[in-house]
């Protein structure tokens, strides 16, 4: 269940066919599955005034938007070019006014069918359209987009700031924590993971664990538990778990390819 305090992503998708409705619902579900985010997807129907007010409110409050452009009627003398859904174009007009009229541009991810022409208001959306995704690919594409964007006033923006301050030793400690299970992991097992999986000698592993424990805790990336009988446990913070795992995969790839020292 989404949290009303989560950052809002506006989803605009055609609904002429059951397949288009399924796509819009899949986009919404993929966004709702990302920690710190929730989606708004207006299901057509009901009282027009109520729906319009809802759309305007969501477009005002959204920190990002995902747009799916389906082919509609052909453009006269336009060859194979087609217009997009009139409803989606109207929703885009609201976002375009916010971006241009209010100088308040937000990140936008656009999917489109091959013959949709980016005319009129569509041309004001600064995004490189991607091919319309298959249902099974939506979640991974949404995860990558959210992982690469910085959204204003959102959990993502907060995480980006935190991650920029996280040292390589801190990233190693987080990687070791995840590899050891991620939840209520004895601190000694974090150190063992550093030694066995990363090849770090014992004194250095102790230093990393000791130094990074309070740093990671202070940045709200881990929970730390110290029991009365002297045991210490680390847990990866659930709110940032998906984003930490995503960033660590990218960091590890850069390391293995020699882009990082």
Domains of the chain, first to last: 7-154 (3.40.50.450), 166-256 (1.10.10.10)
Distance CA 10, CA 34 (A): 14
Average pLDDT over residues 192-207: 96
Closest listed residue to residue 197, CA positions, set 172, 221, 215: 172
The region of weakest confidence among 128-132, 194-198, 255-259 is: 255-259
With cut-offs at 50, 70 and 90, classify the pLDDT of residue 113.
Answer: very high
**Interatomic CA distance for residues 193 and 178, integer angstroms:** 9
CA 64 – CA 212 distance, rounded (Å): 33
Q: What local confidence, expressed as pLDDT, does residue 49 receive? A: 60
When mean pLDDT is compared across 79-83, 166-170, 220-224, the lowest value belongs to 79-83
Cα–Cα nearest to 59, from 33, 97, 21: 97
> Residues 83, 65, 142, CA angle at the centre, nearest 5°?
105
Residue 45 is predicted with a pLDDT of: 52
- Tokens at residue 29, please? 């579900």
Q: What is the pLDDT of residue 46?
A: 54
- Does the pLDDT of residue 223 top 60, yes or no? yes
| pLDDT: which is higher, 213 or 121 | 213
Mean pLDDT of the region 213-235: 94
Can you tell me the mean pLDDT for 6-14?
92
Predicted confidence at residue 39, as pLDDT, reads 95
| Cα–Cα dist 210/221, whole Å | 15
Q: What are phi and psi of 185, to 5 degrees?
A: -90, 125
| Contact between residue 102 and residue 143 where contact means Cβ atoms under 8 Å apart | no
* Predicted local confidence at residue 205, as pLDDT: 97
Once rounded to an integer, what is the mean pLDDT over residues 26-37?
A: 93
| H or E element at residue 69 | strand 64-69
Mean residue pLDDT of the chain comes to 87
Place of tokens 């997807």: 41
Residue 200 is predicted with a pLDDT of: 97
C-alpha–C-alpha distance, residues 165 and 150, integer Å:
15
What is the predicted pLDDT for the residue at 154? 60
Q: What is the pLDDT of residue 50?
A: 60
pLDDT digits (tens, 9 = 90+) for 48-73: 566 677 888 888 889 999 999 999 99
């Amino acid at each position: 269940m989404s949290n009303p305090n989560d950052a809002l992503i506006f989803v605009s998708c055609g609904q002429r066919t059951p397949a288009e409705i399924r796509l819009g619902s899949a986009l919404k579900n993929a966004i709702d599955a990302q920690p710190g985010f929730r989606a708004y997807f207006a299901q057509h129907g009901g009282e027009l005034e109520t729906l319009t007010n809802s759309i305007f409110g969501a477009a005002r409050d959204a920190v990002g938007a995902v747009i799916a452009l389906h082919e509609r009627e052909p453009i006269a003398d336009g060859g194979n070019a087609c217009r997009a859904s009139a409803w989606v174009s109207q929703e885009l007009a609201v976002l375009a006014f916010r971006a241009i009229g209010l100088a308040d541009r937000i990140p936008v991810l656009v999917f489109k069918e091959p013959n949709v022409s980016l005319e009129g208001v569509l041309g004001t959306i600064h995004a490189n359209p991607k091919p319309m995704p298959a249902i099974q690919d939506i979640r991974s594409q949404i995860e990558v987009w959210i992982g690469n964007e910085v959204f204003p006033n959102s959990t993502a923006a907060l995480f980006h700031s935190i991650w920029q301050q996280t040292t390589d030793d801190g990233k190693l400690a987080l990687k070791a924590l995840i590899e050891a299970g991620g939840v209520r992991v004895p601190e000694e097992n974090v150190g063992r993971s550093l030694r066995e999986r990363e090849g770090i000698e014992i004194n250095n592993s102790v230093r990393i664990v000791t130094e990074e424990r309070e740093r990671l805790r202070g940045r709200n990336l881990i929970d730390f538990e110290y029991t009365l009988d002297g045991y210490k446990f680390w847990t990866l913070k659930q709110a940032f778990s998906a984003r930490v795992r995503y960033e660590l995969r990218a960091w590890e790839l850069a390391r293995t390819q020699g882009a990082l020292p």
